[in-house]
Amino acid sequence: MIDRVALLGTGLMGAPMARNLARAGYAVSAWNRTADKATALAEDGVSVADTARLCVADADSVFIVLSDGPACDRLLFGDDDGVARWIRPGATVVMMSSIDPPSARRQADRLSALGIDYMDAPVSGGERGAIDARLTIFAGGVPATVEKMRPLLETLGRVNPVGGVGSGQLVKLANQMIVGITIEAVAEALLIIERGGGRPAEAFAALEGGFADSTVLRQHGARMLNGNHVPGGTVATQLKDLRMATAMAADLGLSLPLLAGAEDMFARAADGPDRSLDHSAVHRALRAMQSIGDAI
């Protein structure tokens, strides 16, 4: 039975995950490199650890929610402060960060040598999905490990087993390709409506419910119209995921022109102060290319 949960990384996504696990009755210990991002969790029954090593001590499962693969590797296997050596044999590491599939498989192999189970479980749904415990979770791993962790993961959202270790990360890359390309398509569509003399708000309402409707259109189209780019997922994170997808495509010998176009636009958006805004802010970079200002 899994009762003690360590969660490393209490940023935009990790903090609400920690809260939901604690509300479900698990004994949650949390750690964040920037300590003040974790201290507020104490009000929700989460024990805040001073160090990552103390956080994972005696944990039955270790959830990792960091920004990228290199950060996760340093946290687990760093020469001076890698926590893998302090995770007890028999525990399970749940990699919820979006990393490349080969890194997930390498991490699993290194942890297996220490007697530690591993699964990758990146998510879709953004901050809102994390808060509402309605994340879509792409679960990759040995079936027995995925099933062992299912009760915990179901306190965070819907669990979707998609194959062996690394498969969760592969499906997350596909998800991010679709999201990034669709955000760019919505931005271009709203721009051509405006430049063509249409009324973007009325056009946006008309498109909802049609064949072009989607969660991206409804959520990110609205952000583009009202200029609210408080991040649910940032431009920088979207670019990181698109670049991982591009690298994976290159390794597989694939030429993916839509992916290349979306990566280019997000790179433009990330080259400046907009990199920390919501990924819908890519439309600002698109508009800057046309020299027509920022407001729709």
Active site residues: 172
Provide CB contacts within 8 A for 9, sequence distance 6+: 31, 32, 64, 65, 66, 67, 97
Strand partners, 31: 8
Q: CA-CA distances (angstroms) from residue 274 to 52, 66, 218, 236, 283?
A: 31, 21, 21, 9, 10
DSSP β-ladder status, 47-48 and 61-64: unpaired
Q: Give the Cα separation of 156 and 268 in Å (integer).
A: 33
Cβ–Cβ < 8 Å for 223, 191: no
If residue 176 lies in a helix (H) or strand (E), which one and from where to where? helix 167-195
